């Protein structure tokens, strides 16, 4: 099929318009704290750590794009200027100290620049600030149990709810936390290794039997946030979602009161995982 230049231009414009529409449409339909159709980037940030992870990722994308374009430019220059036809008598140069020092030093400097940012981010993730609330998440085959040691020591199980939306992410009992508070999450496994991950908070940490791992997040907006077990843990690995409901302080206090009653009557709720771990 032959196309005139005008036709090509229009077709290209059409593709670009469709692309922009897809991107903006994707952004519009994207809800905070859960995956969206046609998502090609990181989930929207729901915590300061995730904001920094996103900024780091976007910065690296710029660096890698500039490097790729630079190398592409060099390759094209070589192909055009130094092919056998346009350059029949090649130069016999083998060494150039300045160029060699530059192409060693520049990448080192770029990597050091990246590593400084990277270490800062790692420390931010690992250095847990003074926590306002501690919750304990225990990975089990194939659901999560949550304990609230600061709020009356109740514990409950959180299982996938088939009838709830979003599909495969909704659970019967959600984790509830207050907004704008530092939440320390202690994570362990009761049987095999699981992994506690909530993308919008930028957290992912292994739940290992016999070991207590810690991470933290500070949710900046009220709403629902979803994650999944992120360590292959058995046949129902895909069906043990994590659902976190972020609420205001008053709503959290009210929820604690109802939860204390609701989960106190549950005989399986009195720190069953702690008992199992101690045996």
Residue 42 DSSP one-character state: P
Smallest gap from residue 191 Cβ to Cu ion (A) = 9
Using the rule CB under 5 A, is 136 a contact of Cu ion?
no
- Give strand pairing partners of 188: 138
- Region of 131 (left: φ > 0; alpha: ψ -120 to 50; beta: rest) is beta
Among 233, 243, 247, 259, the residue binding Cu ion under the rule CB under 5 A is 233
Smallest gap from residue 231 Cβ to Cu ion (A) = 6
**224 neighbors 244 (Cβ within 8 angstroms):** yes
Nearer to Cu ion, 45 or 207 (CB): 207
Four-CA torsion 198, 202, 207, 208, nearest 10 degrees = 160
Q: Work out the widest C-alpha separation in the chain, in whole angstroms.
A: 90
Smallest gap from residue 64 Cβ to Cu ion (A) = 33
Using the rule CB under 5 A, is 229 a contact of Cu ion?
yes
Using the rule CB under 5 A, is 187 a contact of Cu ion?
no
Smallest gap from residue 205 Cβ to Cu ion (A) = 13
- Scanning 5-13, 47-55, 106-114, 228-236 for contacts with Cu ion by CB under 5 A, the matching segment is 228-236
Using the rule CB under 5 A, is 194 a contact of Cu ion?
yes
What are the backbone dihedrals phi and psi of residue 114, each rounded to the nearest 5 degrees, phi first? -65, -40
User: Residue count at the site for Cu ion (CB under 5 A)?
Assistant: 3
CB hemisphere CA count around 79 (13 angstroms): 6
Using the rule CB under 5 A, is 197 a contact of Cu ion?
no
Query: Which positions lie near Cu ion, rule CB under 5 A?
Result: 194, 229, 233
């Amino acid at each position: 099929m032959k196309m005139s230049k005008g036709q090509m231009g229009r077709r290209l414009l059409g593709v670009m318009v469709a692309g922009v529409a897809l991107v903006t449409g994707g952004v519009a339909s994207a809800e905070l704290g859960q995956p969206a159709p046609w998502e090609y980037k990181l989930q929207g940030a729901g915590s300061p750590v995730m904001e920094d992870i996103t900024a780091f990722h976007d910065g690296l994308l710029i660096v890698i794009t500039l490097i790729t374009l630079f190398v592409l430019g060099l390759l094209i220059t070589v192909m055009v200027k130094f092919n056998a036809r346009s350059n029949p008598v090649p130069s016999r140069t083998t060494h150039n100290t300045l160029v060699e020092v530059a192409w060693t030093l520049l990448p080192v400097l770029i990597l050091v620049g990246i590593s400084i940012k990277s270490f800062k981010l790692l420390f931010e993730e690992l250095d847990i600030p003074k926590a306002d609330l501690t919750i304990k998440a225990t990975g089990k085959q194939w659901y999560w149990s949550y304990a609230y040691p600061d709020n009356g020591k109740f514990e409950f199980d959180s299982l996938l709810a088939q009838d709830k939306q979003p599909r495969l992410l909704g659970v019967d009992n959600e984790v509830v936390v207050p907004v704008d508070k530092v939440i320390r999450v202690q994570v362990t496994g009761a049987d095999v290794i699981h992994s506690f991950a909530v993308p919008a908070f930028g957290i992912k940490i292994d739940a290992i039997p016999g070991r207590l791992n810690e991470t933290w997040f500070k949710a900046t907006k009220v709403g629902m946030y979803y994650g999944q077990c992120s360590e292959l843990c058995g046949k129902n690995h895909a069906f043990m979602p994590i659902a976190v409901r972020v609420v205001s302080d008053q709503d959290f206090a009210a929820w604690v009161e109802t939860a204390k009653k609701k989960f106190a009557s549950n005989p399986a709720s009195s720190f069953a995982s702690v008992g199992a771990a101690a045996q």
